[in-house]
Amino acid sequence: MLKPEQPLVLLQHGGLADLSGKTGLALLRYRPGPIVAVVDPAHAGCSLLEVTGIDRPVPVVASLAEALPYEPEVAVVGLAPSGGRLGPALRGDLAAALAAGLSVACGLHSRIGDDPELAALRRDPAWIWDLRQEPPDLAVASGRAAALPCRRLLALGSDMAVGKMSACLELAAAARRQGLAARFVGTGQAGILISGAGVALDAVRVDYAAGAVEAAVLRAGEELGAGGLLLVEGQGSLAHPGSSASLPLLRGSQPTDLLLVHRAGQRHLKGLPQVPIPPLPELIAVAEGLAGLGRSDGQRPRVRAVALNTAQLDDAAALAALAATAELTGLPCADPVRHGGEALLAAVLAGSGLA
């Protein structure tokens, strides 16, 4: 529905400097198509680079009305607030966007198309894309992705929001720079908005979650041959008591390889200090054990490398953390956002016999 060439305005509303804005921040970092403005009253007039560290020449304005002179075609909600509900300021700018004839894309649990007041403001040919919806024609997974000839790399995190999507996108970019066929399967709102396809896993009933992943993987991998690489965005964490996403991703994608994603120095789950993150070697062993179950191909996928999120560290501390993690796990370790995805891609290809 969202075309790569369509100019976007991102509705951030306080999310430029907050984890609640991770969807918009991901689009600013990874969407190749045009983003003409960002709406964030708290940072209007500020430099995007100074606020976010993202070097992209996009103006930050205070309202949707101030963004209209930049001629956006689509307003995208770049927030993922707790509970996924519309705040008054965001709702007002969504109404202004629809009244101005813009299309709207939203990944919140609050669906724009189900809101009578907002839906009534849409004018043809504009559309409303509520992407957090259960796909049609769901089926229970049966392990069919194991028959795909391409490599399938699944990112698994030690916690939520540690950089699983970013790691996959960086590896995909590195693969394409080397002339390899690579595709990305988005499983959350940002990944779907960036790639234009995928499955909103947290909108799917649990019985069909693995089947929904399987269908998305089969669609994305059908034209990839034995030399191709399919990168599946991870969600949640096996170590999180509130997360059920990792198992359907393992079952549905039938990965050939795994990537562990971890934030440097993090010892407990974010917001749950009473729940420690297991030692990484233990987490790796659990992930590999689970990945080997429920398969018909006899494969026993291995964690090929660790993607370490060092965003909160300076250069010297980041290098020390990378070295310590590599020594702890015995695996190649790199920060793909900071240093590019080449080192991690080399580890994946070497482990899968494609180097």
- Report mean pLDDT in 10-residue bins for the chain, 355 residues: 92 89 93 96 95 95 98 94 76 97 92 95 96 92 96 97 96 96 95 91 95 97 92 97 96 97 97 97 98 92 98 97 98 97 96 59
The count of C-alpha atoms lying within 13 angstroms of the C-alpha of 60, restricted to the half-sphere facing its C-beta, is 24
Q: How far apart are CA 303 and CA 298, in angstroms?
A: 16
Q: How far apart are CA 9 and CA 25, in angstroms?
A: 12
Considering the four listed CATH numbers 1.20.1050.10, 3.40.50.2300, 3.30.300.10, 3.40.50.300, the one that applies to the domain covering 144-352 is 3.40.50.300
CATH 3.40.50.300 intervals, the chain: 144-352
- Cα distances from 23 to residues 10, 50, 79, 194, in angstroms, run 10, 19, 6, 10
Q: If we measure between CA atoms, which residue out of 338, 250, 329 comes closest to residue 284?
A: 329
CATH 3.40.50.720 intervals, the chain: 8-130
Q: State the burial class of residue 155 (Cβ atoms within 10 Å of its Cβ: 0-12, 13-18, 19+).
A: buried
pTM: 0.92
Q: Structurally, what CATH architecture does the domain formed by 8-130 represent? A: 3-Layer(aba) Sandwich (3.40)
Altogether, the residues listed in the chain come to a count of 355
Q: Is-contact 285 301, C-beta < 8 A?
A: no
- Residue 197's pLDDT is what? 83
Q: How far apart are CA 166 and CA 47, in angstroms?
A: 22
Token pair listed for 276: 């420690």
- Residue 353's pLDDT is what? 53
- Residue 47's pLDDT is what? 95
Note the Cα 125 to chain centre separation in Å.
Answer: 29
